Amino acid sequence: MRRRQFIMCLCAAAGWAWPQLVFAQLTDRVRRVGVMLVTAENDPEGQARLGAFRETLRDLGWIEGRNLELVPRWVGGNAIRARTVAMELLAISPDVVLTTALATRAVQPETTTVPIVFVQVIDPVEQGIVQSLARPGGNTTGFTHFEPAMGGKWLGMLKEMAPHIDRVAFLYNPDSAARGSGSASFVQSFETYAATAAVTPVKLAARDDAELRRGMELFRSAGGGGLLVPPDLFNTLHRDTIVHEAVRHRLPTIFPYRFYTVSGGLMSYGVDLYDLYRRAAGYVDRILKGEKPAEMPVQTPSKFELVINIKTANAIGLTIPPTLLARADEVIE
């Protein structure tokens, strides 16, 4: 009896140890993961996203200095520089690369073999980045964050926040739009909803801070206006100016990400970006363990958040509807 119990314990121990041994064999050499981010290195928002990605990899057993070398590269908002940065990153022979929207379009044409996991890409099928969401094909898969129909959703929420507005400006950068920027994806749904909501849609173009200030000043002078700020690298890089001018001109404004509202914006509705980068780390982990990007479905957002800044609402003389306030995931006071 004692001998039988010993054998059973031995088998149980072997059964537990086998997956541990397999994982150890998979991670017995240092894996190199490249990360290409479109913000500047000193941008706290970019650093926070990288931090969420790094922390999740660590939780999954990938430890820098032991079995992981994480190599971040920063584009600094320069689309022209993106291709050079992409080639530099691929030259170090990474095992997998994490990219954001602009970076994805820079990296993907340069390799058919290095696995790519993207985040913050709008409609990757339409852009030709993957063959389909269910079966991406090739060496690329990842995470989308907004559907083109969000343009109408944002406008509807802004109208709910400020029912009196009858004109809404859609802020975009013409240069980004010419390169197929994500912001252009939302124009049709924005204009379609505007036609049903007695709202005059206005396209507000800006290429730098000076144009931003002039454009918002002219728009405000006509009265009755609100502002929709779609996801776009230009808007992210110029977020301080946009938030400041929106409050100064008392323009009810909706943003796509929480960090705008934390910085003083009125309201935001969008995907939890840190959650997106954590989920991307899970895909990188699976690829490092042998799975193929071609067979890993592109994932859609699973977590959205409505954030409202009461202090800003008071500053621009706006009373927040109780029904909207009750739906908020976070209220900043």
Q: CATH number of the domain at 320, please.
A: 3.40.50.2300
Q: List, as one string, the DSSP characters of 243-306.
A: HHHHHHTT--EEESSHHHHHTT-SEEEEE-HHHHHHHHHHHHHHHHTT--GGGSPPBPP--EEE
Q: Report pLDDT for 18.
A: 46
207: tokens are: 């290429």
Do residues 125 and 169 share a domain? Answer: no
Q: What is the DSSP letter of 64?
A: B
Q: Are residues 126 and 183 in the same domain?
A: no
The predicted pLDDT at position 303 comes to 83
What is the DSSP code (8-state) at residue 41? T
Question: 167 and 237: one domain?
Answer: yes
Ranges under pLDDT 50 in the chain? 1-2, 7, 17-25
How many domains does the structure of the chain reveal?
2
- Torsion angle (degrees, nearest 10) of CA 35, 37, 43, 49: -60
281 lies in the same domain as 244? no
Token pair of 310, please? Answer: 């009461």
Write down the residue that tokens 């050079």 correspond to: 84
Q: Which residues contact 2 (CB under 8 A, 6 or more apart)?
A: none
Q: What is the pLDDT at residue 179?
A: 56
Write down the mean pLDDT value for the chain. Answer: 90
Residues 121 and 90 both lie in one domain: yes
Which residues in 87-104 are b (16+ Cβ under 10 Å) and which e?
A: eebbeeebbbbbbbbbbb
258 shares a domain with 110: no
Q: Please give the residue range of the domain that contains residue 324.
A: 150-271+305-332
**315 and 199 within one domain:** yes
Residues 18, 129: one domain?
A: yes
- In the chain, where does DSSP find H-type helix? 2-26, 44-59, 79-90, 101-107, 150-161, 174-178, 187-196, 209-221, 233-237, 239-248, 258-262, 273-288, 310-315, 322-327
Residues 120 and 197 in one domain: no
Same domain, 170 and 286: no
Residues 181 and 328 in one domain: yes
Beta bridge partners of 140: 116
Same domain, 176 and 125: no
Residues 6+ apart with CB under 8 A from 184: 172, 176, 177
